[in-house]
C-alpha cells in the first residue's frame, strides 16, 4: 500500500537539520500503523513527506506501486485523492457550517451538488454528527471537531488516512471514542490508517504495528504487541516506562 524506501529529509538554513535519515517502512493494506517518538524525533516531517506537503531530500515513497515523487500533474492529483489527512489543530473553516466544511474538498473537485449532499449525509452518519450538520465549528467540542475533520478527510474516499496526533488535545474519554471511530473506519470501510503520535496509549489501543522513531531514524518496528512485550531500544523502553499503565 505505502512503501517508503531510504527516505531522508534535510532542512537547509543557517544550520542543516537532518530531520529524517534513511527511513524504510512498509504499510500493508488494512494496517493501522503507529509511528511513535518523542518531540523533535521527525514524526511530523515524515507525515508531511507521505502526504506530499513536503518533498523528501532523497529516497522514495510508493503508493500502490507508484513513486509519488516522480509523478506530477493529473496523475499526482489522482494519487493525492487516495490520501486523507487529519491535522492536530483540526484545520476547520470557522465561518462555514459542518456540512460546508465536509463538502469543501468535494466542491473543489467539482463533484455534482446532489452527489455532495448524499456523500456529506453519509459521512455525517459515519462520524455520528448527523444532528450537527448546520452547526458551526465554534459550537462543537474538541472531540466533535475532530470527527468533522475525519469526515472531511474521508470525503473523497481515500484508501489511506494519515493522522497527525489525532487525540493530543483531547481528554481520555474523548480520546477513547475517537480511537474507536478510527478503528471502525478501518474495519468497516477498509481504510488503511497511519497514526503519528507521542502517546503510547494510542499505539497500544489502536495500532497492530508500530515504528519507533528517534532523531530521524527508525530504531525499532514490528507488531505492537511484540515491540511492547520485548522493547529492544532505549527510547522504546523510555516511552513505555513514562507512559506507565496507559
- Minimum distance from residue 33 beta carbon to ligand ADP (Å): 16
Question: With binding defined as CB under 6 A, does residue 194 bind ligand ADP?
Answer: no
The CA distance from 193 to 203, in Å, is 12
The CA distance from 65 to 158, in Å, is 16
Instruction: Give how many residues touch ligand ADP by CB under 6 A.
Output: 12
- Minimum distance from residue 67 beta carbon to ligand ADP (Å): 22
Please, which residue, 133 or 219, has the CB nearer to ligand ADP? 219
Question: With binding defined as CB under 6 A, does residue 190 bind ligand ADP?
Answer: no
Angle between helices 172-189 and 142-154 (to 10 degrees): 20
Q: Which parts of 42-82 are beta strand (E)?
A: 58-63, 66-67
Please, which residue, 91 or 139, has the CB nearer to ligand ADP? 91
Please, which residue, 44 or 167, has the CB nearer to ligand ADP? 44
DSSP letters for 204-229: HHH-SEEEEEETTEEEEEEEHHHHHH
Q: Are 43 and 50 in contact (CB under 8 A)?
A: no
Give the residue carrying C-alpha cell 524525533: 41
For the window 26-55, what string marks contact with ligand ADP as x by the rule CB under 6 A? -----------x-xxxxxxx----------
Please, which residue, 177 or 215, has the CB nearer to ligand ADP? 215
Q: CA-CA-CA-CA torsion for 172, 174, 179, 182, nearest 10 degrees?
A: -170
Alpha-carbon Rg for the chain, nearest whole angstrom, is 18
- Minimum distance from residue 97 beta carbon to ligand ADP (Å): 32
Q: Which of 3, 17, 97, 204 binds ligand ADP (CB under 6 A)?
A: 17
Please, which residue, 13 or 73, has the CB nearer to ligand ADP? 13
Q: Which residues in this chain contact ligand ADP in the complex, by CB under 6 A? A: 11, 13, 17, 19, 37, 39-45
Amino acid at each position: 500500500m505505502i512503501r517508503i524506501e531510504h527516505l531522508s529529509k534535510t532542512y537547509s538554513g543557517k544550520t542543516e537539520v537532518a530531520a529524517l535519515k534513511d527511513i524504510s517502512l512498509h504499510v500493508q493494506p488494512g494496517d493501522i500503523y503507529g509511528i511513535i517518538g518523542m518531540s523533535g524525533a521527525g514524526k511530523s516531517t515524515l507525515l508531511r513527506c507521505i502526504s506530499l506537503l513536503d518533498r523528501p531530500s532523497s529516497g522514495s515513497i510508493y503508493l500502490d506501486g507508484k513513486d509519488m515523487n516522480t509523478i506530477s500533474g493529473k496523475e499526482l492529483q489522482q494519487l493525492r485523492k487516495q490520501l486523507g489527512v487529519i491535522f492536530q489543530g483540526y484545520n476547520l473553516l470557522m465561518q462555514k457550517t459542518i456540512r460546508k466544511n465536509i463538502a469543501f474538498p468535494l466542491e473543489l473537485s467539482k463533484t455534482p451538488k446532489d452527489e455532495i449532499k448524499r456523500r456529506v449525509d453519509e459521512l455525517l452518519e459515519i462520524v455520528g454528527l448527523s444532528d450537527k450538520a448546520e452547526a458551526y465549528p465554534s459550537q462543537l467540542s474538541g472531540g466533535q471537531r475532530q470527527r468533522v475533520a475525519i469526515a472531511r478527510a474521508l470525503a473523497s474516499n481515500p484508501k489511506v488516512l494519515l493522522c497527525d496526533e489525532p487525540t493530543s488535545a483531547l481528554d481520555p474519554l474523548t480520546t477513547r471514542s475517537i480511537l474507536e471511530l478510527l478503528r471502525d473506519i478501518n474495519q468497516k470501510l477498509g481504510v488503511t490508517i497511519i497514526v503519528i503520535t507521542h502517546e503510547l496509549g494510542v499505539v497500544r489501543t489502536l495500532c497492530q504495528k508500530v515504528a519507533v522513531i528517534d532523531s530521524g531514524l527508525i530504531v525499532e518496528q514490528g507488531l505492537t504487541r511484540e515491540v511492547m512485550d520485548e522493547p529492544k531500544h532505549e527510547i522504546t523502553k523510555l516511552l513505555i516506562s513514562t507512559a506507565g499503565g496507559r
